[in-house]
Amino acid sequence: MIIMSVDYGRARTGIAVCDRDEVLASPVTVIKEYNMEKLADKVADAAKERKSELIVLGLPKNMDGSEGESAENVRVFAGLLSERLDIDIVFQDERCTTVTAHEYLNITDTRGKKRKAVVDSVAAVIILEDHLRRRRNGK
């Protein structure tokens, strides 16, 4: 199944996708858009273009597991996406994914503007990898 993950952000939204065998998650792009409606259009277009069969949306929970304003924004965004797509949308806990993405970029010595341009797509890869791991483990 082709699965696309989305690391939603108010300014930059990362997109990643996996292969049909659900083995390899790869970064696709970072969409720079502040308007949630326009962003939903762009993400829906990306999903259609890649023939995605499932969308995994990163859900930013607080460290205690509660949901705040950011999680509510993701849920609103999911509603907009579901109006544009006829595929399932699931949520994946994304606690610490951006921190992990920055750690990966430190390892590869990615700095400056290039780092800012890719960190959200790397976070989307981590969200997708976490989801794929959960699917493989049957949870």
Q: pTM for the full model?
A: 0.84
* Rounded-to-integer distance, Cα 139 and Cα 121, Å: 25
Question: Mind listing the pLDDT tens digit of every residue in the chain (139 residues)?
Answer: 999 999 999 999 999 999 999 999 999 999 999 999 999 999 999 999 999 999 999 998 877 878 889 899 999 999 999 999 999 999 998 876 666 665 665 666 666 665 555 667 888 998 999 899 888 887 5
DSSP string, 34-52: S-HHHHHHHHHHHHHHTT-
**Element spanning 59, H or E:** strand 54-59
Say which CATH number the domain at 65 has. 3.30.420.140
Domain count, the chain: 1
Q: Domain residues for 21?
A: 3-136
